[in-house]
């Protein structure tokens, strides 16, 4: 029997509702293969913050480092500032474990109507830089409480950081169609974005000269994603642009509730983290109607990362069949509950 210890951070809002469904699916998926998960469930998040004044304990990184992966639900609560929830939990995990790749696949499903024009069959991957760029601590507020109050925020791009995300994207593009689009805004953002463009072009010329590279302004790229999504395959983007584009793409193919995300340390020096793209959705929390597919799909990405691509493919096939059969939550126009979708995925696996 092979055992994998995984840190489970269900977190806030709908996180604790979708997480048990994903854990049950993963347990069922690996059991026939002589594999088991040891779930290390941690009560961290906004409730923990209200009791302890921090999102997770001081030794949280050390605790998670002793496990093979981190499986996260959602963070965010109306009673805690978004800065605390992201910078107290999600961002420190990404940074401490050098999870510099945020891989976000987006595809359409039979049975879900897409608002994207043209061919509804969409299958693309967003490679988001995950530890620097616009998500930076450099900045501040000045002249607080006066009519001259100001805020400033510096994006920080390093040659090392852009090179390694570009190299990762080159590898993904090579495995797929050979087409790579780089999201930029070098006409308006005159320092960091030309730097990004230059380095991406250098990396592609050196490591992926056979690839077709297009550098596309983020505003035009957003429109193209809606008008001609099939012209896109692998997109490499900065932290903020990647975050926005992946929500846009996921929403446009049907629901952000189905979109997964892998925060990867490709060198495997540290655990990687798997989470749905969606947040804590306080508007629907507690009603048992949250879509568990994003969490389940993130679990499939974790299986793939742990070395079980065939089991990951079985899980994907199971939830694809369930969506195709119309067993879907209200965000996709159905009436199934979170638990009913989870049970249907487990039944489809059997």
Which residues are identified as catalytic?
Answer: 143, 185, 219, 243, 247
Q: Cβ of residue 341: shortest distance to ligand GGG, in angstroms?
A: 18
Region near ligand GGG per CB under 6 A, out of 52-60, 68-76, 165-173, 177-185: 68-76
- d(C-alpha 133, C-alpha 152), whole Å: 15
Among 243, 247, 316, 331, which residue sits at the site for ligand GGG (rule: CB under 6 A)? Answer: 243
- The number of beta carbons lying within 10 Å of the beta carbon of residue 99 is 21
Region near ligand GGG per CB under 6 A, out of 54-62, 180-188, 272-280, 285-293: 272-280
Contact call for residues 55 and 288 (beta carbons, < 8 A): no
Q: Is 16 in the site for ligand GGG (CB under 6 A)?
A: no
DSSP code per residue over 171-183: HHHHHTTSEEEEE
Q: Cβ of residue 239: shortest distance to ligand GGG, in angstroms?
A: 7
Region near ligand GGG per CB under 6 A, out of 71-79, 108-116, 314-322, 334-342: 71-79
Contacts with ligand GGG in 84-123 (CB under 6 A)? 86
- Bridge-based pairing of strands 2-11 and 69-74 is parallel
**Residue number with CB closer to ligand GGG (182 or 239):** 239
**Residue number with CB closer to ligand GGG (298 or 306):** 298
**Residue number with CB closer to ligand GGG (275 or 314):** 275
Among 20, 105, 276, 299, which residue sits at the site for ligand GGG (rule: CB under 6 A)? Answer: 276
Per-residue mark of binding to ligand GGG, 245-264 (x: CB under 6 A): --------------------
Cα-based distances in Å from 183 to 213, 220, 237, 242: 11, 9, 5, 8
Token pair in block for residue 295: 């969490």
- Bridge-based pairing of strands 234-237 and 179-184 is parallel
Contact call for residues 236 and 200 (beta carbons, < 8 A): yes
- d(C-alpha 293, C-alpha 323), whole Å: 9
Kindly state the number of chain residues that form the binding site for ligand GGG, as judged by CB under 6 A: 11
Token pair in block for residue 136: 């930076």
Tokens 């993130």 map to which residue?
A: 298
**Residue number with CB closer to ligand GGG (56 or 75):** 75
Region near ligand GGG per CB under 6 A, out of 1-9, 74-82, 118-126, 221-229: 74-82
Q: Is 232 helix (H, G, I), strand (E, B) or coil?
A: coil
Alpha helices in 102-258 (DSSP H): 159-175, 192-207, 218-227, 239-252
Contact call for residues 12 and 74 (beta carbons, < 8 A): yes
Tokens 């059997």 map to which residue?
A: 350
- Bridge-based pairing of strands 139-142 and 150-153 is antiparallel
Among 16, 20, 45, 76, which residue sits at the site for ligand GGG (rule: CB under 6 A)? Answer: 76
Token pair in block for residue 319: 């939830």
**Residue number with CB closer to ligand GGG (5 or 240):** 240
Among 22, 74, 200, 245, which residue sits at the site for ligand GGG (rule: CB under 6 A)? Answer: 74
Q: Cβ of residue 16: shortest distance to ligand GGG, in angstroms?
A: 12
Cα torsion through 106, 241, 279, 93, rounded to 10: 100
Per-residue mark of binding to ligand GGG, 278-317 (x: CB under 6 A): xxx-------------------------------------
**Residue number with CB closer to ligand GGG (25 or 348):** 25
Binding site for ligand GGG (CB under 6 A): 72, 74-76, 86, 243, 275-276, 278-280
């Amino acid at each position: 029997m092979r055992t994998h210890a995984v840190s489970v951070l269900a977190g806030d809002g709908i996180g604790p509702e979708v997480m048990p469904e994903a854990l049950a699916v993963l347990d069922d998926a690996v059991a026939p293969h002589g594999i088991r998960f040891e779930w290390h469930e941690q009560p961290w998040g906004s409730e923990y913050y209200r009791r302890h004044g921090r999102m997770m304990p001081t030794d949280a990184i050390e605790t998670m480092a002793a496990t093979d992966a981190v499986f996260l639900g959602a963070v965010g609560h109306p009673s805690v500032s978004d800065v605390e929830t992201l910078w107290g939990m999600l961002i420190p995990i990404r940074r401490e474990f050098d999870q510099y790749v945020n891989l976000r696949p987006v595809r359409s499903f039979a049975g879900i109507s897409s608002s994207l024009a043209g061919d509804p069959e969409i299958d693309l991957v967003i490679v988001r830089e995950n530890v620097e760029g616009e998500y930076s601590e450099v900045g501040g507020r000045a002249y607080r409480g006066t009519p001259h109050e100001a805020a400033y925020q510096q994006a920080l791009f390093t040659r090392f950081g852009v090179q390694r995300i570009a190299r990762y994207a080159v590898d993904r593009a090579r495995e797929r169609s050979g087409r790579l689009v780089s999201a930029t805004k070098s006409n308006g953002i005159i320092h960091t974005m030309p730097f990004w463009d230059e380095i991406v072009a250098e990396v592609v010329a050196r490591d992926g000269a056979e690839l077709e590279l297009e550098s596309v302004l983020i505003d035009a790229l957003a429109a193209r994603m809606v008008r001609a999504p099939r012209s896109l395959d692998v997109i490499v983007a900065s932290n903020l642009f990647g975050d926005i584009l992946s929500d846009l793409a996921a929403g446009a193919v049907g629901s952000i509730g189905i979109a997964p995300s892998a925060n990867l340390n490709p060198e495997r020096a540290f655990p990687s983290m798997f989470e749905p793209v969606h947040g804590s959705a306080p508007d629907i929390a507690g009603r048992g109607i949250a879509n568990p597919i994003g969490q389940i799909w993130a679990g499939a990405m974790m299986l793939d990362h742990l070395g079980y691509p065939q089991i990951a493919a079985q899980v994907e096939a199971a939830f694809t069949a369930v969506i195709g059969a119309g067993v879907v939550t209200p965000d996709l126009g159905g009436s199934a509950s979170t638990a009913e979708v989870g049970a249907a995925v487990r039944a489809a696996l059997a």
